Chains A and B, each alone.
Chain A
């Protein structure tokens, strides 16, 4: 497999002071070149925070309390100034959750492409313009929209533009935070098809954040499931679908099967709410324990750690670790 493209080690992100909200806790994650990783979990479980932390976009009151992020074999968290500026977008791009607001309302679409190119490359204007058209074509947005302002585009188009924007400099990794959540199902479908089609043509890794497990299972190579700021399970997509390990994943899968739930974006298989992530409300045991249908005594007081269950799967659950895996 070679060295991974991205290696996140023991990453913890806190909102506020040390007694604040622990939105990401001790997360370990690796990503290989060209891999499509889905990151799923209910909203509020820390997915965006993790994605932002990897992209170096964490701002006060949030801060990275511990951990390292190694990207392309160097320490991403240690980069500053020009080095960080060049790492961004040339190697690591993002598509934001609310893509609708990610475009500067006072700049035409093409200017928002040009400023990246003129600050990262020495391409002549003609080449820059060519590139804009090429990218817009790739995401199926007509050329004439290049000179429009964002408010003149529909939501779906804006999100396509945001995706096109992320690919200008052909980065090795694109982090997409719920890129299609705000769109209706049909538009969402066409954008994802488009994304898969683009990925066939060129190689880049993706971290795709979504609360929709069904959708992620369709498009991702590997899926990591987050709960209460932690990764509780990670497996290749087919394997996770065929044999989910964590009770939380099972509950999520069960609601995927129910068409009503998908339409209304809820999880009927899973009563209750995700826990509060304040330091003083985190108990000693498994964070999923209060909602878990399979728990035993140990789960209440002892916290399971993420442990390998097969060649490519990890889970953090006491129950599962006792069972033999029939792989």
Chain B
């Protein structure tokens, strides 16, 4: 119970800090790019007064006292009303996010799960046969590969695979000649477009999981309960998985939770390199176009997702690790 209370407190605390931060930033900056932006809005067409109001509250274009603005801000946020996008006028920010979200969730989500599973399994293998050939090569190669900028690697992958050999499409989420509908033509096109970005993400993020799992597993293998398991004459595979890996994976679960939360932020760099219309791409474009309402909305959604994912895993921990939920004795 105490654990649960603490987790809920952390959830609320984090959300509060992040949202307040988000409230303060536009109000603290010198000059007012937001006001200029709103002036430009009028060149685009009729703007709905409600939406205008929402934008003003979110960005702090107001003469009301700060505490009042703060309350209004919370009111907007709790209703997911972030105003209208400047770039994609007259669409609302919420609409734009809803459009981009599925692409990111499916592609980056799948990649995150795949790379976690692959990396963790290989990490178990590397630790079990530590010092062996696989361990030595994988560990050294991955340690070094973590020094390479992801986008650099992705650019070259795109160049060779798509541009030179035309094996896979170069950019976008589906062929420009079709429109997004749920039929086979669209799905197969979307899949073909997803392969290369997916591969680059999986390859580049797997190493972290592998090394992390390997190191945890190696320290777990030194524990007394592993020695005892061996002395008990248990089968090696049982010891490797039920005793060692099961314990070693615990610290990585938190990392996985964070990664799952980060899924919503998409992969800013990947989506930029492949012009993939997900959340990351949306954020980068919003910033590029000084589309403050969109930027703020996207950032809030991202933070919300990360914090929630973290919270959910904290709750799941109760089932994964019996020590968490009850500290006392029976």
Contact = CB atoms under 8 A, between A and B. Distances in A.
Find out whether A and B make contact in their complex, taking CB atoms under 8 A apart as touching: yes
Interface residues of A, number: 36
Given A101-B223, A151-B322, A152-B329, A88 B231 contact: yes
Interface string B318-330: 0001110011111
Nearest to B247: A106
Interface string B209-248: 0000000000000011101111111110010001100110
Contact of A119 (B225, B234, B329): B234
Nearest to A98: B224
Interface in A237-275: none
B323 A105 contact: yes
A88 B224 contact: no
A165 B225 CA distance: 12
Interface string A86-116: 1111100110111101111111000000011
Contact of B225 (A84, A102, A120, A153): A102
Interface of B: 223-225, 227-235, 238, 242-243, 246-247, 321-323, 326-330
Interface stretch (A13-21, A141-149, A214-222, A228-236): A141-149
A167 interface: no
Given A96-B227, A107-B242, A120 B330 contact: no
Nearest to A116: B232
A85 B235 contact: yes
**Chain B contact residues: over half helix, strand or loop, or mixed?**
helix
10 contacts: A55-B231, A88-B230, A88-B232, A89-B233, A101-B225, A104-B242, A105-B225, A106-B321, A145-B330, A151-B327
A162 B228 CA distance: 10
Nearest to A111: B242
Given A105-B323, A151-B322, A96 B330 contact: no
A151 B299 CA distance: 41
A154 interface: yes
Max chain A Cβ within 10 angstroms of own Cβ: one of B233, B243, B326: B233
B233 A103 contact: no
A105 B229 CA distance: 12
Nearest to B327: A151
Given A106-B246, A149-B323, A94 B231 contact: yes
Given A102-B224, A149-B323, A154-B329, A87 B231 contact: no
